[in-house]
Amino acid sequence: MANTAAQYHVRTRWNVRAPVGAVWTELTRPEAWPDWWKGVLVVDLLEAGDSSGLGAYRRMTCRAALPSRVSFNMRTVRLEPRTVIEVMADGELSGPSRWQLTRTGNGTDVRYDWIVTVTKQRAPALALFAKSLFEWNHWIVMNWGRKGLERRVGGR
């Protein structure tokens, strides 16, 4: 059976009622994500990168709404303090992603974009529904993240 990859562009927007600095602090410390993000099981720092975290390389294992786990690596490739975090993923999920933070009147607008390639087809029989399932699953996991982040930084 051929191992076919599928590519998706997923976008998420959160409005968190907390200062940009508080949101930035949490998003730039992925090793702590399992403390507040239900879908993130473990994040291991493999390479530290520089003093700002640029170049850091991590291994992340997540669980999803569907009964499965996925592991992938992510390297921080760009940091603009309190504004942009860009990461390049490789492994079971790969591709560039970007967190963008913008101060708003009531807190922080968080936008997340990921052009993700699913390199491991888990259920070939579901290929026809793969895009819808992937997007739904991603939405659930990101919603868990938003709720956890809001609890963590005191947003409502």
Which single residue is written with the structure tokens 């599928």? 6
Per-residue pLDDT of the chain (156 residues; tens, 9 = 90+): 455 678 889 999 999 999 999 999 999 999 999 999 999 999 999 999 999 999 999 999 999 877 778 899 999 999 999 999 999 999 989 999 999 999 998 899 999 999 998 876 655 545 556 777 788 888 999 999 999 999 999 855
Contact between 10 and 143 under an 8 Å Cβ cutoff? The reply is: no
Superfamily of the domain at 6-153: START domain (3.30.530.20)
What is the domain partition of the chain in residue ranges? 6-153
pLDDT digits (tens, 9 = 90+) for 95-117: 999 999 999 988 999 999 999 98
Q: Which helix (H) or strand (E) holds 148?
A: helix 130-153
Residue 124 burial (C-beta neighbours within 10 Å; 0-12, 13-18, 19+): exposed
Please tell me the pTM assigned to this model. 0.88
